[in-house]
Structure 1
Amino acid sequence: MKKATEVVGLLVLLHGAIGLIHAWTGWFGYWGPVRRLPFLEGHEGSAHFAMVLAGLVLLSVPTIVGDALQRRAPARPISGADPARRG
């Protein structure tokens, strides 16, 4: 799941970055899904910037969540399953 989230994050980041390059320079004319959405007309730059931010979040979340789960205290064993209590 971690790799899938990172791949999606990378794709979203690349689409957003290439969309910003297109908005600033005019390169990559037919790239990106944002230009095909009619409700974003006139707000393409903001939408691409939001895609860059969303891509960065998707790239960093698996690492943050994984580190938090490793620091979490271990779960208590179910009663009767604790080998130290067996006599």
Structure 2
Amino acid sequence: MVVAPVDPAKSEAGGIVLARGAGTVHAHLVSSVDPVGKRVRISNDRGLVNGWSSHDRVCGVRVAGDGVTRSKVAGETLAADSDDSS
């Protein structure tokens, strides 16, 4: 799985995100989004809803897996920062 930094506000249902919780990071399916509450509902790969995760806990998005690149992911990833080393 290939991941990239994400703008959680642009997450879409059906995407795979990395979310921090209980001292670790897990990949979850985004089953719903709540833009007003700034959160995403995360589920596992067996259809079980795990709950809501706030945008500050979402830290990455799956951009490719099994040799297939997601077509819509460009709108969800954070733009690469310009050179901030000055």
> Which TM bucket (shorter chain)?
under 0.3
More helix by share: 1
TM-score normalized by the length of structure 2: 0.21
| Greater C-alpha Rg | 1
For normalisation by structure 1, the TM-score amounts to 0.20
Q: Indicate the structure with greater strand content.
A: 2
